[in-house]
Structure 1
Amino acid sequence: MTDRFKPLGETVGPLFAELEQRVAAHVELTERIRSALTGPEKDHVLSASCRGDTLVVLADSAAWCPQIRYAQAQLLAQLNGASEMQVTKVKVRVGRKPRDLT
């Protein structure tokens, strides 16, 4: 009789490791975007991600989107100069702040 059931760590473990790496890369990119911005708009960046050659930045309100877009050249220069990532466009969207679960 063969064992049809595999241990949970054997099947789900690699998936969690991959998810952890993706989250770490997402957080690292968001911090790089915040550090590239010099004005008060850096405090209003919720997150950042790359979709192909497009950098997508989420701001906490529509009022800060133009300020972040204004810094597009600065963001592109810093990202393309400091890494292997080649970004050609920046899109700024309004995102939602995470709810406080306490």
Structure 2
Amino acid sequence: MAKNKKKVVILGGGFAGVECARQLESSFKNNSEVEIIMISEDNFLLFTPMLPQVASGIIETRHIVMPIRAICKKTKFYEGRIKNVDPFGKLVTLWGTGEKRGVSIYYDYLVV
């Protein structure tokens, strides 16, 4: 009988969320029983310390934006807004948008 994968859900794709996912990917790279999931409103990481250089025209915006999926290749990514976190049911619910229905994601471990 196969074990169920343990799900680690990370809320937010900022510096802390992306680094958390990278560290978990590194720690569990050979463990197929752990699934890492990230939920973020944006599908990119914006390197905010360099925004003044963009505003002054020294560099272009494309140089400080990186797709999260390119950074965290082994992390399943959901782009969306969080509607509800149920800590007792271990469930995160996302808002639906337009044609998309809301999604509910079960977790074993939650990183906020």
Give the TM-score, by structure 2 length.
Answer: 0.28
Which structure has the highest strand share of the two?
2
Larger radius of gyration: 1
Which structure has the highest helix share of the two?
1
Give the TM-score, by structure 1 length.
Answer: 0.29
